[in-house]
Amino acid sequence: MSEQIPVKDVTPVKVHKPSPKDQTKHHSSGTSIYVRAVKGPFETFRRFFGLFFLALFAVIPWLQYDGRQAVLLDIAEQRFTFFSLTLWPQDLTLLAYIFIVSAFALFFVTAFAGRVWCGFMCPQTTWTYIYIWLEEKIEGSANKRIKLDERPMDLDKFWRKSLKHFCWIAVALLTSLTFVGYFTPIGELFIDFFIFNAGFWAVFSVLFFTFCTYGNAGWMRQIMCTHICPYARFQSAMFDKDTFTVAYDPNRGDRRGPRSRKIPYEELPSKGLGDCIDCNLCVQVCPTGIDIRNGLQYECINCGACVDACNGVMEKMNYPKGLIRFTSEEQLSGGETHIFRPKLIGYFFVLVVMMGLLIANITMRVPLEVDIIRDRNTLFRDTGDGWIENVYTLKVLNKSQSPQTYSISVQDLEDYKYIGTEELNIAGGEVRSVPVSVAIKPDSLQESVTEFSFHVETTTVNGDVVEANEPTKFIYR
């Protein structure tokens, strides 16, 4: 009990704050952030990456497969269609596997490279940058937008603001129609909505998501990332000293301050200067309004905008790039980043296992579901001619997308008499319920409860045999 617990010094370091003039110009205490445009490899990659997935989002609901919408999440019919695959409520385990795989993929990527999901793939970030791009095209650069907002209302300001919000609403409406088109036939939705013939819930959904997109990307922006999104709060549980995040190197950058470009880089230490010229561009280009020089912050979305801005300044000053870069805490402290570490290997292992289980479940999935409901009013009855009869209701679900003919038979019984339909024609994605009876001579029954199975079988157009055995019980006495 004499051993002391080591104490870690958590005394906060000096936090750098931009000058009040710059803070007021570009990042007020309110919700308005005037994001400055930036060019660089990360910005270029983020734009093309975002546009690629944005194009997928817009195109997928319009794709057709076998004469119908290829991807349709029909909640009313409780049927999710993905090209040739149709998922039903009975396939809930597949959806659970998909969510688990997505979660561990997110955990793995976050443990390795921080919040790159937020910076490069999150819909909030993508639509926010779309709205900022529209602002730049209509109102001008960040400085012009600041001056425009400071001006009293005049004709120029009115038409620019009106056009901007009209474009915002148009993008939000198009986004909402596309999103709702994943849950209802999108061709009919677009036509019915604009001719005022859509149903109540379709109109309500479109208007609701239009309002959400317009509000989130147009007005809330950084508030979504810093206060509302739960991912920003629990991401720190997945970080460690070897996680790659956007970070400022204080060993290179401090002491900060302006200087002439004529001062050779080799003379900076003798003048007590670091590489940072305190231009505040890293603050001005940040979509969440933080100063990356203050260290790791949960508001940072790892978009890399400050990296491009800083590298551009370093290039103009003829300084080495990388003052702000994707790096790890271990590397900043002079150590070496460990890529293969227990946490990352664990996430990867679980991810591979869950993906294997998902693929195996999809591969072994039988496109046929059989359910048996016994007649609860009468357990058994005497037919009067020496037979004992049990009554059942067979529910056969065709989980494929093409019509099938199913044959019904009884297994594991001897000397029985089957009464009912022996063949069923069921359309794709439909369910049929049929009453059937099984009669047995009392002398053939050894016990009061005898287990047997109904066997349902079909042959697909490809020649594959699809079958299902559903156990049930024959009751007597």
pLDDT in tens, 349-381: 999 999 999 999 888 888 888 999 988 788 888
Q: Tokens standing for 467?
A: 């079958």
Indicate whether 6 pLDDT > 80. no
Question: Mean pLDDT score of the chain, rounded to an integer?
Answer: 87
Q: What contacts 404, CB < 8 A, 6 or more positions away?
A: 398, 425, 426, 428, 458, 460, 466
Over the Cα atoms of the chain, what is R_g? 32
- Write out pLDDT tens, residues 457-469: 998 877 888 899 9
Q: What contacts 233, CB < 8 A, 6 or more positions away?
A: 298
pLDDT value of position 10: 45
pLDDT value of position 236: 73
Q: Output the CA–CA distances (angstroms, integers) from residue 157 to 131, 147, 149, 153, 219, in the order listed.
A: 18, 10, 8, 6, 18
Q: Give the whole-angstrom CA distance, residue 392 versus residue 379.
A: 10
Q: Give the whole-angstrom CA distance, residue 429 versus residue 416.
A: 32
Read off the amino acid at residue 99: F
Sign of CA dihedral 231, 232, 238, 242: positive
pLDDT value of position 13: 46
User: Domain segments of the chain: what residues?
Assistant: 368-475
Which of 341, 349, 356 minimizes the C-alpha distance to 111?
341
Q: Tokens standing for 371?
A: 């359910």
Q: Report CA 378 to chain centroid distance, whole Å.
A: 50
Of 52-61, 163-172, 232-241, the least confident = 232-241
Sign of CA dihedral 171, 304, 239, 221: negative
Q: What contacts 384, CB < 8 A, 6 or more positions away?
A: none
How confident is residue 3, by pLDDT bands cut at 50, 70 and 90? low
pLDDT value of position 320: 94
* 3-class DSSP assignment, residue 113: helix
Q: Tokens standing for 349?
A: 């292992």
Indicate whether 385 pLDDT > 90. no
pLDDT value of position 418: 92
CATH class of the domain whose range is 368-475: mainly beta
Q: Tokens standing for 243?
A: 């996680």
Q: Give the whole-angstrom CA distance, residue 367 versus residue 115.
A: 39
- Write out pLDDT tens, residues 35-90: 999 999 999 999 999 899 999 999 999 999 888 899 999 888 888 888 888 888 87
Which of 273, 285, 333 minimizes the C-alpha distance to 310?
285
For every residue of 226-289, DSSP letters joined together read: III-THHHHGGGT--TT--EEEE-HHHHPSP----TTS-GGGTGGGT--S-----HHHHT-TT-
Length of the chain: 477
- Bridge partners of 373, per DSSP, are 393
Indicate whether 24 pLDDT > 60. no
Sign of CA dihedral 147, 153, 157, 162: positive
* 3-class DSSP assignment, residue 70: coil
* 3-class DSSP assignment, residue 467: strand
pLDDT value of position 27: 47
- E strand or H helix at 425, and its extent? strand 423-426
